[in-house]
Chains A and B, each alone.
Chain A
Amino acid sequence: MKKILFTALAIVGFAINTNAQTSYWTFSWPISMGIGSTNEYIAKTSFRGISITGASFITDNISIGGEWSWEVFDEIKRDLPPRSITADGISGDISGTEYRYLNTIPIFVNSHYYMGKNGAFRPYAGLGIGTVYVDQRTDIGFTSIQSNTWRFGVQPEVGVFIPMGLSGVGVSLKAKYRYATKSNEAEALTMFSLGIGFGFMN
C-alpha cells in the first residue's frame, strides 16, 4: 500500500510541476453518508471533514491532480444485540451502548474532464484512484474494538467550478462516490460525499 501512496504522490507532484499553465486548487467541506455496510455501521450523516485537491491541466479540458480528505463519522448505538467476545480463551458476549467512530483519509491521484473554458462556469467529471486510510473504532463501556487499515480505493466524481469575478477564485461544488476494499478486520467502505467550498483556478 505504501507503493501505491508513493506512486500517487509522485504522479500528482509531476503533474502539478510540469504544467504551469493552469492549476486548480479546491478547499471543500464534505458532507458524507455511508452506503451499504458502512451505513449499517454508522447511519448518521457526517458533517465533519475537510478536503483539499490540487490539479494541473494537461490540455484545455483535462487535468491530472490529487486529493487529500478527512471525513469523521460518529454515532451512538443503543439497544443492540450482544457481541460475541473471547477473553482468555473463554467465549462470551458483551452488551452495552456502542460509541462508533469512523475516520476516512483518502489519498488519491485523479484525472478530470472539464467542459467550458478557463474563467467560465466549468462542470467536470472524473475518477480518483489511490489509497484510503480507514480507522474504525467501537467503544463499549471502557472496551475498544479498533482497526486501522490502508486500503485500495477508487472514487468517481462530478462537480463544477463557478468563478466569481476575474481573480480566479470561485465556488467549488462536487459529488463523490468512494469505494475502498474490505480488510481482514472490517467490511468494504462505501460512501457518498457532497462537497462545497472554494476553488482557485488560474
Chain B
Amino acid sequence: MKQFKKIALLFVAAIALQACYPGDSIPIEDLDTTSTFYTPDDFTTPHKSVAIFWEVVQIKNNDKDDLKYNGEVDDEILNTTLKNLVDIYGTTNVYIISETIDPTPLPTTNIPPANIIIPNDPTPDVEAVITSNIILRRETVGVVYPGYPWYPGWGGGWWGPGWGGCYYCGYPPTVSYQQYDIGSVVLDMIDIRKFTGGQVPNEITPSWVAVNRGLISSNEAFNAERVVGGINQAFKQSPYLK
C-alpha cells in the first residue's frame, strides 16, 4: 500500500505540472496578424483608378510614451502598397499624391510621370484614395486623422471643386474606429465616388482597412521584412480589390 501512495503522490505532482496552454517563448513574428475589413457595397462596381498619398501618417500623442519612429519603414510601407496597387489596377490607373514632383522615398514601381500629382496639378481621374498610417501611441481606440499639414493649401488646387469640395478642409475627420495596437501599420482606402456635390461627411467610413499588427520592433531589417510580408498578405486576402 505504501508503494501505491507513492505512485499516487507522483501523479498528483504530475497534475500540478500540467499546463492548459503550454507555450515556450513565442517569436515576435508569430504575434503579427493581418486583418482586413471592407464595406461590400463599395466594391459592387470596381474602382477604375486609385491614388496613394505618398506619406506615412504617424498617429501619436507627442509625449514620452510614443513609440520612437523616424520613418525607418516608410519606404517599405509605401512601395509595397504601390506595387500591389499597380498589380491590381494597372500602371496607368495608379496615381501618387506627393508634396513634390520628386516623391520621397523614391517609388520603386514605375508609373507614368504624369501620374505623380502635386498640389498645383489639375484634378486626376481617381475613384479611391489610399492612406498609410503607423500607430505610435500606446492607446489608440480610434484613428482620428490628424490632417495632413499640406491639405489646407491644396484646398484651392485639385483638392477643390472638381473633387466635390475641399474634403479635408474640415479635418480632422474621423475615418475609422478600431482598437489598434502600438506599432501597427494601417492602410485605409476611401471611396471618393460617394462624395458628390461638395458634401463631405463628418465621419468617413473607409471602404477597406488593412491592419498589420505590431510590426515595429528594435530590429530594423526584421521590421522591414515583416512590413512587406504583412502588406502583401493584406492585398492577397482581399480579392474584392480589383
Contact = CB atoms under 8 A, between A and B. Distances in A.
Nearest to B208: A92
A76 B21 CA distance: 12
Given A27-B7, A169-B3, A198-B7, A140 B22 contact: no
Given A99-B26, A141-B214, A198-B7, A90 B18 contact: no
Contact of A91 (B21, B33, B38): B38
Contact of B33 (A70, A88, A96, A137): A96
A145 interface: no
Interface stretch (B8-16, B52-60, B103-111): B8-16
A114 to B, nearest CB: 19
Interface residues of B, number: 36
Interface in A138-153: 140-143
Nearest to A169: B3
Of residues B21, B38, B233, which shows the largest number of chain A Cβ atoms within 10 Å of its Cβ?
B21
A192 interface: no
Given A48-B18, A72-B20, A135-B20, A141 B33 contact: yes
B30 A72 contact: no
A167 interface: yes
B237 interface: yes
The SS class assigned to the A binding surface is: strand
Q: Which 6 A-B pairs have the closest CB atoms?
A: A92-B37, A141-B33, A96-B33, A97-B30, A82-B237, A27-B11
Interface of A: 25, 27, 29, 48-50, 52, 70, 72, 74, 76, 82, 85, 87-88, 90-97, 99, 101, 103, 135, 137, 140-143, 167-169, 198, 200
25 contacts: A50-B14, A74-B23, A87-B178, A91-B38, A92-B35, A92-B37, A93-B36, A93-B237, A94-B33, A95-B33, A95-B34, A96-B30, A99-B26, A99-B30, A101-B20, A101-B21, A103-B20, A137-B21, A141-B31, A141-B213, A169-B3, A169-B4, A169-B7, A200-B4, A200-B7
